[in-house]
């Protein structure tokens, strides 16, 4: 199996359900340049941070909180940048004030954030949200803000053994092109039952080289259990 968004997806995220209907997510980071590859996924309190390897100056386009979750409600946000915190706090507030979660909140935050200021790539901002409505039903939102276009969001139907997602790029290693929202979401079947298997799935299907170097940086897989989010990491660079 190959990555559905081609050999260079950039950063990629998925949300969905395991075969036994547990909410789950996956996040993948790839990079062509040495600076992009000198990163790792790091555990932080109630989340995952994409940080530098070694003593490197902070770069908000490369170093950010990629995952944030609420231990009590299980609400989780995964994204490719600084928008993670704003989206998380918004949906946590909605949940704890017993209001109805809607796509419009994700759309508004992404629209306000804009695409990343990294010309000529103008990398889209992408994000996924897991939350619940008042009745306790699982809800999944995905969204993207491309350069020069309005933000687009989806409410993803929860289907057992299916994870849906998107990437920042469409796979061209030599000339990266931004993900095209009109093509729809990528879909993967996930038959496993552990976060290790989920992280390994997105990592293994993304094997590719650019100028002789593996583009993969890290992958993260998470499954919501009765004890909370169980999250595992694969880093190319040894921690």
Residues 144-154: tens digit of each pLDDT: 999 999 999 99
Whether 5 is covered by a domain: the verdict is no
> Quick one: pLDDT at residue 56?
82
Instruction: Judge if the upstream peptide bond of residue 120 is cis by omega within 30 degrees of 0.
Output: yes
Whether 226 is covered by a domain: the verdict is yes
> Quick one: pLDDT at residue 54?
83
Residues 164-204: tens digit of each pLDDT: 999 999 989 999 999 999 999 999 999 999 999 999 999 99
CB of 193 closer than 8 Å to CB of 16: no
Closest Cα to residue 29, out of 137, 138, 179, 168? 168
User: Is pLDDT of 238 > 80?
Assistant: no
CB of 101 closer than 8 Å to CB of 91: yes
Whether 195 is covered by a domain: the verdict is yes
CATH number for the domain harbouring residue 127: 3.60.20.20
CB of 147 closer than 8 Å to CB of 159: no
Q: CA angle at residue 105 from 69 to 171, to 5 degrees? A: 75
CB of 82 closer than 8 Å to CB of 98: no
> Quick one: pLDDT at residue 122?
92
**Whole-angstrom distance, CA of residue 28 vs CA of residue 208:** 13
**Domain with 196 in it:** 11-235
Is the pLDDT higher at 238 or at 209? Answer: 209
Whether 194 is covered by a domain: the verdict is yes
Beta strands in the chain (DSSP E): 11-17, 23-30, 39-44, 47-52, 64-69, 76-79, 125-132, 138-145, 152-156, 162-167, 186-189, 209-210, 213-214, 216-225, 228-235
Whether 24 is covered by a domain: the verdict is yes
**Whole-angstrom distance, CA of residue 106 vs CA of residue 179:** 18
> Quick one: pLDDT at residue 21?
97
CB of 236 closer than 8 Å to CB of 29: no
3-state secondary structure of 48: strand
Whether 107 is covered by a domain: the verdict is yes
* Count of structural domains within the chain: 1
Whether 102 is covered by a domain: the verdict is yes
Whether 44 is covered by a domain: the verdict is yes
């Amino acid at each position: 199996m190959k990555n559905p968004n081609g050999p260079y997806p950039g950063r990629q995220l998925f949300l969905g359900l395991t075969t036994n209907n547990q909410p789950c997510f996956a996040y993948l980071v790839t990079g062509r340049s040495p600076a992009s590859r000198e990163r790792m996924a790091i555990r932080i309190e109630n989340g995952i941070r994409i940080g530098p390897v070694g003593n490197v100056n902070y770069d908000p386009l490369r170093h950010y909180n990629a995952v944030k979750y609420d231990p009590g409600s299980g609400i989780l946000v995964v994204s490719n940048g600084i928008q993670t915190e704003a989206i998380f706090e918004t949906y946590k507030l909605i949940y704890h004030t017993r209001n109805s979660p809607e796509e419009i909140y994700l759309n508004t935050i992404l629209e306000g954030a804009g695409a990343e200021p990294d010309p000529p790539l103008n990398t889209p901002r992408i994000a996924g949200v897991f939350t619940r409505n008042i009745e306790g039903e699982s809800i999944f939102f995905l969204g993207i803000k491309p350069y020069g276009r309005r933000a687009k969001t989806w409410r993803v139907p929860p289907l057992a053994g299916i994870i849906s997602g998107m990437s920042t790029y469409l796979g061209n290693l030599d000339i990266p092109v931004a993900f095209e929202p009109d093509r729809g979401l990528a879909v993967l079947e996930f038959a496993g039952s552990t976060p290790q298997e989920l992280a390994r799935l997105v990592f293994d299907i993304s094997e590719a080289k650019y100028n002789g170097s593996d583009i993969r940086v890290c992958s993260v897989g998470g499954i919501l259990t009765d004890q909370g989010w169980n999250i595992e990491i694969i880093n190319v660079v040894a921690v």
